[in-house]
């Protein structure tokens, strides 16, 4: 069982609909948080006592900056929760190069860079028997790629493959990977696509419920949360 009280946890994308809910739960359960967002104003609006850091995840230097901020604030990193992500809609033949590049940079490449930057701190946490973890959210589209969301599905499938393979590599270092794949959740992400317009979607999960399930999985040392894990 992973203890949250006193654990130093970096949340990437903390101002998003799901990141915000996870941050609230982790804060209430005593974690020492470092919260990442795109603007200081949105981070301040969270009203959570935490270290705060901004940065564009497309920038190769941002990962190291996030890790440095967490280490400066709390002296260690025991967990990383990556909830940042972008979405796009529309037929693949209409998706621009810029959209493809941005989806891959934020949804797939950024978490890879983040692991590389945080690896020494996570190994140190493991050596101190603090049960470090790295959590990704590839979502249901990584299990079931969706028409008119092909580029988005591909970026999330890449993230899921990364989590699975890196998790095998890091197991020997005592670093636990956890990939969560909830179905459509009412975070508001679909209303902010970087290209296209969202189709009519069925009512999604409540962010509070999804966040609670994810935090419970962190505590219970789970390593995989397929879409079926979120079914009521």
pLDDT of residue 202: 87
* DSSP H helical ranges for the chain: 17-28, 40-45, 62-74, 97-104, 110-127, 150-171, 207-219
Of the residues 134, 152, 177, 230, only one is catalytic, namely 152
User: Domain map of the chain by residue range?
Assistant: 8-225
Taking the whole predicted model, whether its pTM rises above 0.75 is answered as yes
Query: Are 28 and 34 a contacting pair, CB within 8 Å?
Result: no
The verdict on whether 205 is a catalytic residue reads no
Q: Which CATH number fits domain 8-225: 3.30.830.10, 3.40.630.30, 3.20.20.150, 3.40.50.720?
A: 3.40.50.720
Q: What is the pLDDT of residue 2?
A: 86
Q: What is the CA radius of gyration of the chain?
A: 17
Mean pLDDT by 10 residues, the chain (232 residues): 93 97 98 96 96 97 98 98 97 96 98 98 97 97 95 98 97 97 95 94 94 98 97 78
Question: What pLDDT does 1 receive?
Answer: 75
How far CA 46 is from CA of 87, 133, 160, 163, 218, in Å, comes to 23, 24, 28, 28, 22
């Amino acid at each position: 069982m992973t203890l949250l009280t006193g654990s130093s946890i970096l949340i990437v994308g903390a101002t998003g609909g799901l990141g915000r809910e996870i941050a609230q739960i982790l804060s209430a359960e005593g974690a020492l948080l470092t919260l990442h967002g795109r603007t200081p104003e949105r981070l301040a609006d969270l009203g959570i006592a935490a270290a705060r850091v901004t940065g564009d995840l497309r920038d190769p230097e941002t990962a190291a900056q996030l890790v440095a901020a967490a280490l400066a604030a709390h002296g260690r990193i025991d967990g990383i929760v990556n909830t940042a992500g972008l979405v796009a809609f529309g037929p693949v033949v209409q998706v621009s190069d810029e959209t493809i590049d941005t989806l891959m940079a934020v949804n797939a490449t950024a978490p890879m860079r983040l692991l590389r930057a945080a690896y020494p701190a996570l190994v140190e946490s493991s050596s101190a028997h603090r049960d470090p973890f790295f959590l990704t959210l590839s979502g249901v589209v990584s299990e079931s790629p969706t028409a008119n969301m092909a580029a988005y599905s591909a970026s999330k499938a890449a993230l899921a493959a990364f989590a699975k393979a890196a998790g095998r590599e890091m197991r020997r270092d005592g670093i636990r990977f956890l990939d969560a794949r909830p179905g459509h959740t009412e975070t508001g992400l679909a209303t902010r696509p970087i290209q296209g317009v969202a189709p009519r979607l069925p009512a999604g999960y409540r962010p509070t419920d999804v966040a609670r399930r994810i935090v419970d999985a962190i505590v219970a040392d789970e390593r995989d949360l397929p879409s079926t894990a979120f079914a009521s």
